[in-house]
Amino acid sequence: MYIQEVDASNLPRSSPSTVRNDRWSPPATGLIKANFDANFDIGSLSSVSGIIVRNEEGLIMAAGIYPNRFVANPELAEAVACEQTLIFLKDLGFRRAVVEGDSLSVISKLCHPLVSRSILSVQLDNILRRLRDFDHISFSHVNRESNKAAHILARLGRSFSESRFWLEEVPSEVEAAILQDRWWVDTPD
């Protein structure tokens, strides 16, 4: 898992550290954790972003889905989902967060921003500008198993034509993955 602490007032960043984790883990006390994932459809060049926000006890604070049109590829879909996660967190009033996604390329590019002419450059610039909305923000790359609830939510989002939001709950199709994550939180190592 990549972890990168980002201080918006000091944009030159150090290299992320690498940590192995095969399951969702809660954030440190005083932080919330937002997991995001994107479901991309090449036929319609569209995606759906799924976002789940949880506290240090693994309890759901909020969840949301965002349908997106005119998305060129899966990597751009993940970058769009990451930016929507920051917007969602800001709208909810959270200023101290850990943001996790399973797109290694997007998280790596956020941790090591370079001048680029790639299709992601505008999206990554938008994300970096939004960092100033937070007192503390960090980005982590996690594997699919650690991001399972957000993955299920993004896939489920295909059945909606507009954005949907939930406070302190998730759709029933996502509950099993959340309960499995909570089991790890409630069980000492």
Q: How far is CA 163 from CA 16, 43, 145, in A?
A: 33, 21, 25
pTM of the predicted structure, to 2 decimals = 0.86
153-177: pLDDT as tens digits: 999 999 999 999 999 999 999 999 9
49 pairs with which residues across the strands?
38, 66
How far does Cα 179 stand from its chain's mean position? Answer: 19
Residue 133's CB is within 10 A of a number of other CB atoms, namely 14
Token duo for residue 102: 């399973």
**Could you give the residue ranges of the DSSP H alpha helices within the chain?**
74-92, 104-111, 121-130, 148-156, 172-186
- The pLDDT mean for the chain works out to 87
Q: Could you give phi then psi for residue 157, rounded to 5 degrees?
A: -60, -20
pLDDT bin (cut points 50, 70, 90) of residue 8 is very low
Q: What was the pLDDT predicted at 115?
A: 62
Interval 77-81 mean pLDDT: 98
User: Is residue 136 within 8 Å of 96, Cβ to Cβ?
Assistant: yes
21 pLDDT band, cuts 50/70/90, is low
- The 10s digit of each residue's pLDDT in 133-159 is 999 999 999 999 999 999 999 999 999
Question: Please, what are the domains in the chain?
Answer: 2-184 (3.30.420.10)
Give the whole-angstrom CA distance, residue 29 versus residue 140: 17
Reported as a single tens digit per residue, the pLDDT across 47-68 is: 999 999 999 999 999 999 999 9
17 has a pLDDT exceeding 50: no
**CA–CA separation, 119 and 124 (whole Å):** 10
